Structure 1
């Protein structure tokens, strides 16, 4: 799960998964805006087969928090 999330984020941001850690704050560290967040969410929905609201991703404090949220969603399916 974590590898998919990091790879997806890196793809949207044009960086490498190695630049994305659990403590990465996408807004503070990479200047991610709402459109990029929506693109990340859409790609993660396709890759993981779960629904993700943009609000959920915006509430995530960091990448680790987003991974935990997605893991919960996937387990609840």
Structure 2
């Protein structure tokens, strides 16, 4: 098991301490370990996506075009949901 030191805002430390005091976590370390374990491994996902994109011949231009299309779709949904420009 690795031991690391992190700095966190006071309110986050208080939240972890409350969880321990309430019996929701055995320790502050286990509280953060459980949070990290539940979080998806986005770095690994990005690496897999990059490898698949490279194998499929997807270019940076293709990715930029897809990002622009997704951004436009998100704006359209937001405008529709909120009845005007987002």
TM-score between both structures, scaled by the size of structure 1: 0.26
TM-score using structure 2 length: 0.24
Structure with larger RCO (C-alpha < 8 A, sep 6+): 1
